[in-house]
C-alpha cells in the first residue's frame, strides 16, 4: 500500500479496441501519475475489466472534478460501469458475529495493528456474550436478538444501525443467521461472509460434519458476497487444508478456524482495496 494519497479507478465495459489508450491517455493528459494498473479481458463474455491507482497530488483538480471529467470524456463513450475511490477516506466496516469469536478476534487484532486501515463503527450480535470484549476495544456493541418470531423486526433494526453509522461494508464474521432477502438486496456487493467450507461443496449448516461423512481429503473456507440465495453469492477468496481419515469432525472444526480467519481477512482486504469487480455471479480479483 502506498503512503501517498491516491485514487483507485475500477471499471468494466464491453471489450473493444483502444480502452487502455483512452483511459491512460485521459489520465496522462491531465498530469496523472499511474502507480499501479491491472487489466483483464474475458473472452467468453466479451467484457473488459480494469483497476488503476492514480497519485492524487499529480492531478490539477479535486476528486469531484476528476469524476465528472472522466465520466464525460471516457466512461460514457466506452459504456463503462465504473467508480473512483479515495485512499484518504477510510471505509466503515460493521462486523456481525454470533458466539464463535475467532474471526472477530482476528479482525480486531488486524485493525489494532493497522493491517486493516478501516473504521469499525460498531459490532452487532444476536447474542450478548462478546459485549465485554468488543467494548474493551472502545467499539460500540449492539445486541439484536433474532428469533423465529421477530426476524423481520431484527433485520430492520440491523439495517437501521448500518445506515445510522454510515456503514460502507458489513462483514459476517461467523454470524450464524440467514439474513433476510430484503437486507441482502438492499446492500448488493457490500455484505461479506465467511463460510466454513470450500463452496459450492457443503453449503448450509455443519459443513465440517458433511465433509466428514463424505470422506473428503481437503477442507476449506470461502469468503463471498452475500445474496438472497444461501451461500451462493460471488466468491472473493478461498483456501484449503489437507486432512485424512483419522481426523474427526471436531479436529476439522479446529483446523478450519485457522483457515477461516485468513481467508476472511484476505477477502475483506481485497474488497477494501477495491480489488474485486463483480460480474454476474463471478468476480475478477486483482491481487
First to last CA, the chain: 12
Which grid cell sits at 195?
463460510
Inter-residue contact 161 to 86 (CB < 8 Å):
no
Minimal CA–CA distance to 221: which of 183, 266, 178? 266
**Within a 10 A sphere around the Cβ of 80, how many other Cβ atoms?**
21
Angle between helices 207-214 and 249-272 (to 10 degrees): 120
Q: Strands, DSSP E only, in the chain? A: 6-14, 34-42, 47-55, 81-86, 93-97, 123-125, 141-143, 169-172, 191-195, 218-225, 235-242, 276-279, 282-285
- Quick one: 6 exposed, middle or buried, by C-beta within 10 A (0-12, 13-18, 19+)? buried
Alpha-carbon Rg of the chain, whole angstroms?
A: 21
Residue in 106, 168, 231, 274 annotated catalytic: 231
Alpha-carbon span 231 to 223, nearest angstrom? 10
Q: What distance in Å separates the CA atoms of residue 215 and residue 244, rounded to the nearest whole number?
A: 8
Q: Among 11, 13, 14, 81, which residue's Cα sits nearest to residue 52? A: 11
Q: Give the Å distances, CA to CA, from 32 to 6, 24, 52, 66, 236.
A: 10, 9, 11, 10, 30
Is 15 a known active-site residue?
Answer: no
Catalytically active residues are 231
Amino acid at each position: 500500500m502506498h503512503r501517498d494519497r491516491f485514487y483507485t479507478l475500477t471499471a468494466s465495459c464491453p471489450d473493444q479496441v483502444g480502452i487502455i489508450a483512452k483511459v491512460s491517455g485521459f489520465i496522462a493528459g491531465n498530469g496523472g501519475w499511474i502507480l499501479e494498473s491491472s487489466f483483464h479481458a474475458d473472452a467468453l463474455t466479451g467484457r473488459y475489466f480494469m483497476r488503476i491507482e492514480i497519485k492524487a497530488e499529480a492531478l490539477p483538480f479535486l476528486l469531484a472534478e476528476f469524476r465528472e471529467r472522466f465520466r464525460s470524456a471516457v466512461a460514457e463513450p466506452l459504456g463503462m460501469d465504473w467508480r473512483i475511490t479515495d485512499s484518504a477516506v477510510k471505509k466503515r466496516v460493521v462486523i456481525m458475529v454470533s458466539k464463535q469469536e475467532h474471526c472477530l478476534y482476528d479482525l480486531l487484532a488486524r485493525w489494532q495493528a493497522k493491517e486493516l486501515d478501516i473504521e469499525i463503527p460498531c459490532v452487532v450480535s444476536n447474542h450478548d456474550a462478546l459485549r465485554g470484549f468488543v467494548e474493551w476495544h472502545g467499539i460500540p456493541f449492539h445486541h439484536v436478538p433474532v428469533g423465529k418470531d421477530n426476524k423481520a423486526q431484527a433485520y430492520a433494526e440491523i439495517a437501521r444501525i448500518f445506515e445510522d453509522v454510515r456503514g460502507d461494508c458489513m462483514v459476517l464474521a461467523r454470524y450464524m443467521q440467514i439474513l433476510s432477502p430484503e437486507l441482502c438486496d438492499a446492500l448488493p456487493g457490500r455484505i461479506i461472509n465467511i463460510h466454513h467450507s470450500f463452496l459450492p461443496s457443503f453449503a448450509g449448516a455443519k459443513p465440517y460434519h458433511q465433509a466428514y461423512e463424505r470422506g473428503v481429503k481437503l477442507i476449506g473456507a470461502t469468503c463471498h458476497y452475500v445474496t438472497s440465495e444461501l451461500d451462493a453469492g460471488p466468491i472473493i477468496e478461498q483456501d484449503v487444508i489437507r486432512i485424512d481419515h483419522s481426523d474427526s469432525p471436531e479436529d476439522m472444526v479446529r483446523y478450519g478456524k485457522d483457515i477461516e480467519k485468513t481467508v476472511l481477512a484476505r477477502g475483506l482486504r481485497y474488497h477494501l482495496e477495491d480489488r474485486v469487480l463483480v460480474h454476474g455471479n463471478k468476480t475478477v480479483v486483482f491481487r
